[in-house]
Amino acid sequence: MPSLRALAGISRAPFLLLPVALIGTTTSISYCTSTIQSIDVILSLIGLLSLHIAVDSINEAGDAQSGIDEDTERTPFSGGSGTIQSGDISVRFAYIWGLSFAGLGAAIGIWFLYAKGTILLPIFLAGAVCVLTYTHWLLRTGLGEIFAGLGLGALPILGGSLVLSGEIPNAAIACAVLAFFMTFNLLLLAEFPDAVADRTGGRKHIVILFGPRTSGHIYILAGLGVPFSLGVSILIDALPILTILAAIPTFLLLPAFRTLLKPINHKIPIPALAGNVFWNLSTHVILMITIWISCEFI
């Protein structure tokens, strides 16, 4: 049996804060619009964590098979964990680990379908496609960033709102849009330093298809899409005015913006990669807190 450190490595444990943040935001929205059950929150969190572990573990195994992670310049935010390359775990076990968590996530989804109704089915099926085809198809067709934004951004908030409250209020739609942009960019920036290895391994993502300069502009537009969408959501009363504070972490993107506005190759400084991750998490935390405080306005 591999060590806990190896299992945490292929599960990309530090990035598991993202599903926690997504469920936190969704719980705040649902708490403000209906009575929620603690067991639903717990099962939603376990389900989303399971699916995130599944995606990352299968991705680690797939990248080891294709040789991508042999050639990447590994950082804490890109290039894979290196767990398989170090010999701490096998490709076969990584697949078993990932598919086991996919099964756990599916089991929780089936329970919610039984308990809450088939209204959840379209979202759950879309989530299943994101999990099971991400590494071996979506990342090879130029759709990886879009489906990452959906599967690990928008869909958890929309599906979570249905599970916890039985409805999708305007606040959930607004936060789903924000989550889409943030997870889209979370993947996009991490693809810059891996682009050469990814191309050799048969991937086709935005950086490979459009080059670093155009991809940088896409990243900047998606990043600025968060405060813009937030402002629009407040103006149309989809979100309370206090949530404007969630625009503050956009300043964490400045290192990335400065880098991407210059003539660049595929090198992204560590502070820019780190700011990209902390922007995502801190924006969700501020949304969660400000929505909770502003419940009477939801």
275/96 Cα distance (integer angstroms): 33
What distance, in Å, lies between the first and last C-alpha atoms of the chain?
48
What was the pLDDT predicted at 291? 96
Residue 258: CATH number of its domain: 1.10.600
What was the pLDDT predicted at 298? 56
User: Tokens for 224?
Assistant: 């600025």
63/68 Cα distance (integer angstroms): 5
What was the pLDDT predicted at 233? 97
Q: Are 68 and 203 in contact (CB under 8 A)?
A: yes
**pLDDT lower than 50: segments of the chain:** none
For 134, the domain range is 4-297
The pTM for the full model equals: 0.93
At 184-197, the pLDDT tens digits run 999 999 999 888 88
Give Rg (Cα) of the chain: 19
Please tell me the total count of domains within the chain. Answer: 1
Q: Within a 10 A sphere around the Cβ of 160, how many other Cβ atoms? A: 29
At 194-219, the pLDDT tens digits run 888 888 888 889 999 999 999 999 99
| Alpha helices (runs of H) in the chain, residue ranges in sequence order | 4-10, 17-33, 38-66, 68-71, 91-116, 121-133, 144-149, 155-165, 170-191, 195-200, 206-235, 254-260, 270-293
What was the pLDDT predicted at 202? 85
Residue found by looking up tokens 């940088």 in the block: 216
